[in-house]
Amino acid sequence: MTTHAHDDGISGSAKRALPQNNSAVSQVRTAKKAAVPAARDVAKVNRILLVEDQPDFGRLIREYLLDSDSPRFEVRHVESLGAAMEALTEQLYDAALLDLTLPDSIGLQSFQKVFQLNPNLPVVILTGIDDEDVGVAAIKSGAQDFLPKQHLNLLLLTRTLQYAVERKQMEVQLRQSQKMEAIGQLSSCIAHEFNNLLTSIQCNLALLLDSEKLTDAAEEKESLISIKDGANHAAALTRQLLTFSRRQIMEPRVVDFNQVLEGFGNMLKRLLGEAVHVYFSYDTGLPSIKADAGMLEQIILNLAVNARDAMEAGGEVVIESRLARIDTAHVALHPQARTGDFVCLRVADTGCGIAPENLTKIFEPFFTTKEMGKGTGLGLASVLEIVRHHQGWIEVESVLSKGTAFRIYFPVTEAAPEVKKPEGETGSLNGTETILLVEDDPTTRQLVGILLRRYGYNIIASATGAQALQLSEQVLAGVQLLLTDVVMPEGIDGVELSKQLQGRNPDLKVVFMSGYSAEVLTKNITLPERLMLVQKPFDPKFMLRVVRNTLDAKRTA
C-alpha cells in the first residue's frame, strides 16, 4: 500500500511513481488504447509544452495526448526549465504540463519563472506522491491545476488540460470584457462632449463657407475647407470610439454586399495611393445580408488602410467577396464560427505580416505596432465590434514578410435588398416656418439658431425642456417643428418634451439631436418607434435637409 506523505519540500518520490517494468507500462498503454475511439473527428489541435526530465514518463504522457481524439493535442517535450523558457519564446502554446523537480530548477520557482514569462499560459503542475502541497501552493500562485503522477490516466489527463485551457480562456475573456466596458464608458462620455464641440466647429464653418464675402478663389476658402476636412476626420474618430465600445448607432438594412464594394471601390483606390494596387473580385449571385452599409464601408476602409500601412514600399491589396458554406470541420478549427451559409469578405495584402505573438493582440483597443503618431490602435478594434454587431466573426492568417489575409463572415438573409428612396436632396433647404429649438449646450444652441435663421426659419430658442414648456404656453400654436436635444437637465428630456407638446399640438413635427451614444439613449430613455434623429456631430447641410424633409412630409397615422 502506497503512503501519501505531505511536506513543504520536493521529494524524489515523484520519479518513483512511474511504472518501472515493461508489464506495467504495457497495461497502461492497453488501457489507454481501449479508451481511444476508432474514428478521429476533426477538432482544434491544442499545442502543449511538456516539461518533464524523466524520458520514459515524458514519452508516456506524450503518447497519451497524441492518441486523444477529442480534444486533440500536439506535444513538444523538453527536459529542463531552460529548454522550456526557450521553447516559450519560439512558439505560442495553449497549455503547459510542468514537473516541479527539474535538473536546473526545483519547486515553485520553476512555475514562477514560467508564469513571469507568460502569465496567460495555462499551467498544469505534475506532482509526485509526496509533493501535492506544492501543487496546491502553485495553484494559489496562478497555476490552473495539479496532477498526482501516480493517478494519471488518459481521461484525467486530457480533461484536466482541456478544462485548464477553457478556464484560462474564460478568464482572459472576462478581463477583456471588463476592460472594454470601462473603456466604453469613458469613450461614450468623451464622445458626447467632443461631439458638441465638433458640432460647433462644423456649424461655424458652414456659416463662413456660405458667406457672400467669401469668393471661390479666396485662399481663406481653401483654409476653411481644410479645417472642415479635419473636423470630419475628428468626427470619424469619435465614431470609431463608439463603435469598438459597442455604443455607435447602427441602421441595419438588407443590402447587396457586392453593391457596397462596387460603390466604395474608386474612393478606396484614391485613398490608398498609387503605390498600392487594389484588385476586386466579386462572387456573382451572392445572397443578401442585413447590415449597416456605412459600417461595412468602415470595415473595408479600416482593413485596406491597415494593409497599406503594412506595405511601406507599396504592394497589392485584394478585396473579394464569396459565398462560404461553413461545415462542422471548419467550426472545429475555428470555434467562433457557425455552420451554415455566409457571405465572406476577404482582404489580403502583400505586406510585412504580423508576428505570431501579436496575432492575439491586434483587435485590442489602442494596440498598434506602428510608430508614434501613425496609428490610433482603433482600426481593427472597431472592425471586430462592427462584425460582432452583425453576428459575424473574423479569421486571420499571416506570414511574416509575405502578408496577411482577413476573412470576415456575415450571415445571409433570404430577404431582397431594400431600395433606398430618393430624399429630394436637390430641393431648397430654405423655409419660413417657426422652429422651437431646445439645446442645453449654449454654443451649439446659438450656432444652430444662426444657421436656421440664415435659411429663413423663425427660431424660438430654449436651454431646457422645462423652459421650453413655459415658452410653449404662449407660442406653441405658431410652432411647426420641435428641434430638440434628447438628454437634457432639469428632469425633462427631449422625448418627454415632445410627448407633452404633441399632446397639445398633434400637428407638431419633431426632430431629435444627440451627441450621446445609442446605449445611453436606449438604456435611460424610451425612444419613440418612429424617430427622426440627427446624430452629433452633424453636417449642417444634412441637418437642414432633415428639417426641411420633416416639415414637408405628410403626417401618417
For residues 146 and 226, state if they share a domain.
no
End-of-domain residue from the set 413, 446, 473:
413
Of 207-211, 418-422, 530-534, the least confident = 418-422
Single-letter amino acid, residue 213: K
Stated pTM of the model: 0.47
Per-residue pLDDT tens over the stretch 37-65: 433 444 568 889 999 998 988 888 888 88
Query: Does residue 5 fall inside a structural domain?
Result: no
Mean pLDDT of 406-419: 86
Total structural domains in the chain?
A: 4
Question: Which of 214, 244, 274 delimits the end of a domain?
Answer: 244
Confidence of residue 91 (pLDDT cuts 50, 70, 90): confident
Give the amino acid at 246: R
Q: How confident is the model at residue 342 (pLDDT cuts 50, 70, 90)?
A: very high
Query: Looking at the structure, do residues 337 and 465 belong to the same domain, yes or no?
Result: no
State the DSSP H helix or E strand holding residue 45, giving kind and residue range, or none if neither: strand 45-51
217 pLDDT tier (thresholds 50, 70, 90) = low
pLDDT of 250 above 60: yes
The closest alpha carbon to 94, from 153, 163, 40, belongs to 163
Q: Please check whether residue 316 is in contact with residue 277, taking contact to mean a CB–CB distance below 8 angstroms.
A: yes
Residue 368 has pLDDT above 60, yes or no: yes
State whether 103 and 191 are in the same domain. no
DSSP state of 73: E
C-alpha–C-alpha distance, residues 388 and 500, integer Å: 38
Is 513:441 a contact under the CB 8 Å cutoff? no
Q: For residue 429, tell me if it sits in a domain.
A: no
Supply the pLDDT for residue 482.
96
Of residues 269 and 248, more confidence is placed in 269
Among 127-136, 333-342, 364-373, 413-422, name the one with the lowest average pLDDT.
364-373
Predicted confidence at residue 417, as pLDDT, reads 75
How do 315-326 and 403-413 pair as beta strands? unpaired
Kindly state the average pLDDT of the residues 525-542.
76
CB 321 within 8 A of CB 257: yes
Rg (CA), the chain: 31
**Residue 425 belongs to a domain:** no
CB 51 within 8 A of CB 97: yes
- Clarify whether residues 137 and 207 are in a common domain: no
Q: Which residue has the higher pLDDT, 286 or 232?
A: 286
Q: Same structural domain for residues 233 and 262? A: no
State whether 237 and 261 are in the same domain: no
Indicate whether 245 pLDDT > 60.
no
* Cis preceding linkage at 122, omega within 30: no
Segment (H or E) for 405: strand 403-413
231 versus 403: the higher-pLDDT residue is: 403
Collapsed DSSP state (helix, strand, coil) of residue 508: coil
The percentage of the chain sitting over the pLDDT mark of 90, rounded to a whole number, equals 29
The answer to whether residue 6 is domain-embedded is: no
More confident residue, 210 or 349: 349
Among 55-69, 156-170, 350-364, 411-425, the minimum mean pLDDT is found in 411-425
- The better pLDDT of the pair 205, 429 is held by 429
Q: Is 50 helix (H, G, I), strand (E, B) or coil?
A: strand
212 and 102, same domain (yes or no): no
Question: Both 369 and 315 in a single domain?
Answer: yes
Beta carbons within 8 Å of 136's beta carbon, 6+ residues apart: 146
Tell me: do 263 and 308 sit in the same domain: yes
Per-residue pLDDT for 531 more than 80?
no
Residues 6+ apart with CB under 8 A from 188: 242, 245, 247, 516, 517, 519, 520
152, 167, 199 - which closes a domain: 152
Domain, as residue range, for 296: 257-413
- Look at residue 7 and tell me if it is in a domain: no
H-run or E-run covering 454: helix 442-454
* 52, part of any domain: yes
Does the pLDDT of residue 320 top 80, yes or no? yes
Please give the pLDDT value at position 6.
32
446: β partners = none
Of 2-16, 149-163, 275-289, 327-341, least confident by mean pLDDT is 2-16
The pLDDT of residue 199: 85
Residues 26 and 138 in one domain: yes
CB atoms within 10 A of CB 108: 19
pLDDT of residue 247: 53
Look at residue 80 in the predicted model and tell me its pLDDT: 93
pLDDT in tens, 141-179: 888 888 888 777 778 888 888 888 888 778 777 776 676
250 is a domain residue: no
The CATH number linked to 538 is 3.40.50.2300
Q: Compute the average pLDDT of residues 410-417.
A: 87
Question: CATH no. for residue 408?
Answer: 3.30.565.10
- pLDDT above 70: percentage of residues in the chain: 77
Residue 366 belongs to a domain: yes
Domain shared by 275 and 135, yes or no: no
Residues 264, 236, single domain; the answer is no
